[in-house]
Amino acid sequence: MADRFTLIVNTPDREFYRGDVTMLELTTSEGDIGIYAGHIPLTAVIVPGVMTIHTDEGIKKAAVHGGIIEILQSQVNVLAEVAEWPEEIDVNRANEARVRAERRLKSSDADVNIVRAEMALKRSLARINAVD
């Protein structure tokens, strides 16, 4: 049995997850990170992507739309702007959002907010990839 640590994931409107896990994977502003028990203390910015939670019972995936991760000695805290389980995601809506964001990014219209379109694309891809 692998060593475990406590993972707590909170969003502004709910406690999304609380439990003992063997590993956590997610994407920070510096790249992908994998966390095991005994990881060095760290605080990092989370960017939109898939959060993969490994437990003794299996693997759970969720879409995360940004936030902060705090890694402590025996606990990891994730404060996410939004976190969604695959069953909460409307894949058709996420695909439509992806298409809209890609269209905005290809547009030559000077009024298009590129940063906003890029973030919309990342959020839609996080949702789509969490379901796959």
Query: Is there a single domain that holds both residue 67 and residue 20?
Result: yes
Query: Is there a single domain that holds both residue 114 and residue 60?
Result: no
Per-residue pLDDT tens digits for 84-106: 999 999 999 998 999 999 988 88
Q: Which CATH number does the domain housing residue 102 bear?
A: 1.20.5.440
Number of domains in the chain: 2
Q: Which CATH number does the domain housing residue 17 bear?
A: 2.60.15.10
Query: Is there a single domain that holds both residue 15 and residue 64?
Result: yes
What per-residue confidence (pLDDT) applies to 1? 55
Query: Is there a single domain that holds both residue 17 and residue 59?
Result: yes
Per-residue pLDDT tens digits for 61-73: 999 999 999 999 8
Query: Is there a single domain that holds both residue 20 and residue 35?
Result: yes
Query: Is there a single domain that holds both residue 80 and residue 95?
Result: no
SS3 state of residue 67: strand
Residue with tokens 């976190």: 83
Buried b (16+ CB within 10 A) or exposed e, 46-68: bbbbbbbbbeeeeebebbbbbbe
Residue with tokens 């693997």: 59
Residues of the chain with pLDDT under 70: 1
**Cβ atoms within 10 Å of 16's Cβ, excluding its own:** 18
